[in-house]
Structure 1
């Protein structure tokens, strides 16, 4: 497990609520003045839930985990809920019914997600995170008890007005009773955590606002207590498209699904228009440093100082500093400013796979042929000319012989980076044939 990064709150904000406001983490809330007073006082217990609809969390989830970490650093106690029961149903999407996963798969993913959360939230100190699974209280509850104790507090008219439900009601497919009931299940979770732990605040994305307030309303009606909800803005790219698996552009927190190298490159390639907000959302840099980087972006955007700092900070928080330094070394080595041979196999594999031009080959494949196959040249004669001019290299070693092959040049017995000129690259994977050799 990755060791928790040594981070702290920004000393410029004595109240964590003010820091959340500065970082743009508050889109909607039940009562801003009451929340500022609450978060600036004695420790409270709060929670955020994550449904196991995939074997890994993604960047959209990370935004919530970072808010949780900030609140934990301020002394408040986090409950990290994995939806062992809600994950069997699925939160309604605006467009279509979710595909239900089998119970064994969901149970397996519950374990994965719980382990991931412990990479970002401390399990030590006076306010350690506690992992909870809503299957623990929903599984023993009968349908009759659920309807009598919970269902009676919900009004169908209110439920129909929730954004996700309303959009589905207007679609041709409509909405199933199972997904329609999701908001009742999430309300049950908040009430149960209130009764068990004294939890009085729930976090979530702004698109979850209907589900968040289902819980505050249930606690108000059933327990006579005013609980709170905080909805953060959705994290989007420069085109306004949400980061998340449902949008098909997920960046996963599992290094097997999104490698540290790919993660580093993702941050490094962010647009100037959104990089400052990403620094606020995904790093623990103080506001003074963020403002310096904002000014650097305005004055000399070609230096990409903000993107480099974002990539360093965010990747280190997600995967740890050693993996991040390997990713940086790989980035430098690809373009001839570092040693490809010094890279670990996983990092090198990710770097090679990231290149736009690709080929598979045998370990003794001719370099001329690979130059043409990868599209670095248009013809074999172009390849010979490029070699004669000293403009071709394999793994940063210049090729002088037009009859040269990959033999003896593969790194980790498998990988090669072909270069024509300074910046035109292609990746070669000889892994399958090398394994047979």
Structure 2
């Protein structure tokens, strides 16, 4: 079953989601928050419906898990926006909507007469969100932007992989999720601005910039200090490279050693535990608080880490995790998808929620709310739509609004 109805935050907001995979998560987030999101699909459906994996390994446009993930809490209406009639229907829908999201190449919506200027002409409060690989202007605005290209040009790929090998991409696409999430944030800010001023606006969101935002201090480090962060299993810290992911008997754990005043003492419990188990004799007597990070050499660090590694390798993730909890050591297992699904903390907070799929005659469990709120919890109220499932419904609403003379909703 789907989640029972709860108070939603955006019940007075209608979104026309014309975006493909690159921007689909934007509409999903707004829908999770309670907006009425109508996914406008071309004849034959969104091409993202053909991206695997598929439920039961049956390739079908209504069984794509990748499509499902970004398109729950939406209705689907099929319109051919390249035709005069299809474009006119979208304009009429936009008169009664608040936000329109698209991920077309620069200039496409304008040629259809569906850009911000055109839509705002009949709905002054309109907020339009245009998601493109490199933005709507500039020397690369016409470039195509598959995930690998965007990851590479944003700087992400440079940081991924082993120190002694060429860089690699992250195995799961990052461009679309980041673009969708940041587009939703921008749309909510614009919506707040509309509430205060009554004015809509156009949001020009470049996915390259979204991914570069995720690098945090990496770009600033180069700009301000000339330091170039390097990829690898070890993390740059001051003048040295430090290991923070450790191999154990059945996987990996994350743990970081420290030096310096106050922080250095965090290592004492780990070293004591190791010595109780017959490991780490070479670390006995180290004055971790007495070391200055900027005075460390890589030779010293390599010697310490050679002493730490056998202890982790001799234990399972659970043994290390439970032992760390008992000793108040900051350590955690590196979870696999299977471990995430079985995680007791997520289970306690009901993170995974059942959603009814009538066409499959069963429930499917979805990742739950991205935040738990005292009012308006964002949950999956509607399973992802079948192709054009709500076309007749949406057009009937449009006709009813026209017959009753309903003004635009902004």
Same fold at TM > 0.5: no
> With structure 1 as the length reference, what TM-score do the two structures score?
0.27
> With structure 2 as the length reference, what TM-score do the two structures score?
0.29
Looking at both structures, which has the greater relative contact order when contacts are Cα pairs under 8 Å and sequence separation is at least 6? 2
Query: Greater share of helix residues, 1 or 2?
Result: 1
